[in-house]
Amino acid sequence: MTEQTTTYAQKATSGKAQTAFRAFARKVATHKLGDLLLSSGLVTQEQLDAALRTQKETGGQLGTILIQQSALTAVQLYRTLSQQWCLKAAAAGMAVVMHVSSPAPAQAASPNEGVTAEFTLAADSAAEHLARRYPELFGTRETRSNDITAFRKWTAVMDRFDSQMASGAKSDARVAAWMEKIESLRGLSPRQQIEGINAYLNKIEYIEDIDNYGKSDQWATPVEFLKRGGDCEDFAIAKYASLRALGFSADQLRVAIVKDKIKNEMHAILIVYSSDGNFVLDNQNKKVEAITAVSRYQPIFSINSTSWWKHSA
- For the cut 80, the answer to whether the pLDDT of residue 117 exceeds it is no
Q: Would you place residue 58 in the very low, low, confident or very high pLDDT band (cuts 50, 70, 90)?
A: confident
Judge whether 304 and 254 are in contact, CB under 8 Å: yes
Q: What percent of the chain has pLDDT over 70?
A: 71
Residue type, 197: I
Q: Would you place residue 287 in the very low, low, confident or very high pLDDT band (cuts 50, 70, 90)?
A: very high
- For the cut 50, the answer to whether the pLDDT of residue 116 exceeds it is no
Tens-digit pLDDT profile for residues 223-255 = 999 999 999 999 999 999 999 999 999 989 999
Rounded to whole angstroms, the Cα distance separating 206 from 216 reads 15
pLDDT of residue 242: 96
pLDDT of residue 133: 67
Tens-digit pLDDT profile for residues 186-202 = 999 999 999 999 999 99
- For the cut 80, the answer to whether the pLDDT of residue 172 exceeds it is yes
Which of 99, 134, 149 is at the close of a domain?
99
pLDDT of residue 189: 97
Note whether 95 and 119 are same-domain residues. no
Residue type, 118: E
User: Cβ atoms within 10 A of the Cβ of 56, count?
Assistant: 9
6 vs 245, which has greater pLDDT?
245
Q: Would you place residue 55 in the very low, low, confident or very high pLDDT band (cuts 50, 70, 90)?
A: confident
Question: What is the chain's mean pLDDT, rounded?
Answer: 78
Rounded to whole angstroms, the Cα distance separating 293 from 138 reads 9
Residue burial 279-297, b: 16+ Cβ < 10 Å; e: rest:
bbbbbeeeebeebeebebb
Note whether 240 and 291 are same-domain residues. yes
pLDDT of residue 272: 97
Which of 99, 134, 165 is at the close of a domain?
99
Note whether 28 and 57 are same-domain residues. yes
Note whether 140 and 264 are same-domain residues. yes
Which of 46, 76, 99 is at the close of a domain?
99
Note whether 262 and 140 are same-domain residues. yes
Rounded to whole angstroms, the Cα distance separating 231 from 208 reads 5
Note whether 217 and 71 are same-domain residues. no
Q: List the CATH number of the domain containing 303.
A: 3.10.620.30
When pLDDT is averaged across residues 133-137 and rounded to a whole number, the result is: 84
- For the cut 50, the answer to whether the pLDDT of residue 129 exceeds it is no
Q: Would you place residue 27 in the very low, low, confident or very high pLDDT band (cuts 50, 70, 90)?
A: very low
Rounded to whole angstroms, the Cα distance separating 273 from 200 reads 19
User: Cβ atoms within 10 A of the Cβ of 77, count?
Assistant: 20
Q: What percent of the chain has pLDDT over 90?
A: 51
pTM for the structure as a whole: 0.63
Note whether 52 and 127 are same-domain residues. no
Note whether 65 and 86 are same-domain residues. yes
Note whether 303 and 158 are same-domain residues. yes
Range of the domain at 131: 104-313
Helix (H, G, I), strand (E, B) or coil at 83: helix
Rounded to whole angstroms, the Cα distance separating 229 from 220 reads 9
Tens-digit pLDDT profile for residues 66-84 = 888 888 877 677 566 654 4
Note whether 90 and 171 are same-domain residues. no
Note whether 125 and 82 are same-domain residues. no
| For helices 173-185 and 190-201, angle between their N-to-C axes, nearest 10 degrees | 160
Note whether 65 and 33 are same-domain residues. yes
What total of structural domains would you count in the chain? Answer: 2
